[in-house]
Amino acid sequence: MRKLRISFVAAALGAALFAPAAAWAHAMLDHAVPAVGGTAQGAPGELQIAFTQNIVASFSGAELKTAEGAAIPTGKAVVDPASPKVMRVPIGQKLKPGLYVVTWHVVSVDSHRSSGSYKFTVAP
């Protein structure tokens, strides 16, 4: 019984020590410009999406849509050379006032894929 208890405690301790490392294995959204849930005063010319880890441009990108689901043309996503955690996505047209949805996907430099979405508003 004692050996079983020691084995269980050792296994639980090992799992607790390694669990945080697994949580850090994906690049997650840190912040964005226009801000997540924020309001842009004037039409932005690009999206700047910052993550918690460096990302690989060739496997990363974003889509921009209106609240109704109409696609907004964007240029090729690039990683900011000054900050490899930031993806820049040029917007192909002037945005009208309204609500927009950004859907992103990235691969971090440790090869883990993550994705998500957020909204922002362009003020009149």
Q: Domain segments of the chain: what residues?
A: 26-122
CATH 2.60.40.1220 fits 26-122, yes or no: yes
The rounded distance, in Å, linking the Cα atoms of 82 and 90 is 17
Tokens found for residue 74: 């964007």
Tell me the pairing of strands 39-40 and 113-122: parallel
Tens of each residue's pLDDT in the chain, 124 residues: 555 444 444 444 444 444 444 445 689 999 999 999 999 999 999 999 999 999 999 999 999 999 999 999 999 999 999 999 999 999 999 999 999 999 999 999 989 999 999 999 999 9
Contact 30, 56 (CB under 8 A): no
Distance of CA 49 to CAs 2, 84, 97, Å?
A: 52, 11, 21
pTM: 0.78
DSSP code of 58?
A: G
